[in-house]
Structures are given as C-alpha cells and as structure tokens.
Amino acid sequence: MNTSALCLQIFERSVREYHAHNNVDAPVIVPFSAQTLEELLYRKSYIDTVQWHLEDIVRDPAIHPEAGLLLKRRIDRSNQDRTDLVEQIDDYFLALYSNVTCEPGAPINTESPAWAIDRLSILVLKIWHMQEEVERSDASQEHRDRCSIKLAVLMEQRTDLSGSINELLHDIANGKKRMKVYRQMKMYNDPSLNPILYKQGNQ
C-alpha cells in the first residue's frame, strides 16, 4: 500500500471540500466509514484546515480582545483534538504491525509514522495557500514570483516527505525498524497538571 499517496489524496480532498464553503464554523461531513484509516486522515486534515484559518483570524490587529481570547481557547482545543487524532493514527499502525518480528537491534525512528503524516497534512495546506498567492490577481508580479519559488520548494518537500513516510512504513513492516510511540502528555490542558488550574481548585 502506498500510504503517502493515500494520505495526499485524502488531505487534498479535505482541503478542497473545506474551501468550497471556507467557513470555520461549518460542520464537517466525513465521507468515509468510521474507525477506518481514511476517516482518521480526513478528520485530521479537516481539523488542520480549520485551525489554519483560525490562526489567520486571531492575528487580525483589529480583533476585539475578548473575541481573540475565545479564539485562542478554541485553537487550544483544536490542538488537543489534533494530537488525539495523531495518536489514533499511530494506534492504527501499531495494530497493523503488531505481529511483525523485528530484526535484532532494529532501531526506532526519530518520530512515529503518524507524526510524519501530520507534517504531510500541514504541507498540503501550505501548498494550497501558496498556490493561492501565486494566482492572486491583486498582488504584484514580484510577490507572485517569490511565491512561485516557495511553492516549488514546498512541492519538492512533499515528494521527499512522501517517500520518507513510505520508506519508514516499509521498514517497520519488514522488521528493519521498531515502531515505538510516546504519548504527547500535554500538560497545559490537564487540570491536574497545569498549576494555574489546579491551584484554582484548591481555593
């Protein structure tokens, strides 16, 4: 299975379908069956896409401070949802390769498959929005030319990262690398670990 090709196909579809309405508050309609890799990938990409636009909105210099704070908290929740989905994707691969016998001394990778796939999802978003800049009719030719150069680099990154993901999964499937996952353990969202939150509970 060419996993990176599947990821790209789903990520590009998710980004395209978001931009059909371009509304951060529109409900997500996942076109895949629940508990499948395709469903996880689509939801992951959709969260990334909404968050991309929330990050744009919150940087509006004219935003009301209260609205900005609400957006910041929404972005925090989105980050947690994103992390949870990445870990679910890693769970899928852990189950998929659970019966693989690793070669003696097989090394682990610097990041898990799902976190590499997470970077691919963000890269698809960068490419989409850089393409928009290349095609902007209200921008100068100099701006469009600069963005064209950046777009070419992003496309090269996409090729390299896709190949690296496939190679990593191939090595895991064949026991050449061990798949080992560390959970993120984000502390600031946990009321038992964030001192600002748990001190409030003691008051």
Model pLDDT, residue 182: 86
Q: Residues 87-115, buried b or exposed e (16+ Cβ, 10 A)?
A: bbbbebbbebbeeeebeeebeebeebbbb
User: What's the rounded Cα separation, in Å, for the pair 44 and 26?
Assistant: 16
- The whole-number pLDDT of residue 203 equals 57
Tens-place pLDDT, residues 118-134: 999 999 999 999 999 99
Q: Are 50 and 126 contacting, i.e. CB atoms less than 8 angstroms apart? A: no
pLDDT at 46: 98
Q: Return the pLDDT at 201.
A: 67
- pLDDT band for 195, please (50, 70, 90 cuts): confident
Q: At which residue do the structure tokens 């748990």 appear?
A: 198
Q: Is the separation of the CB atoms in 119 and 157 below 8 Å?
A: no
pLDDT single digits (tens) 12-44? 999 999 999 999 999 999 999 999 999 999 999
Domain limits of the chain? 3-190
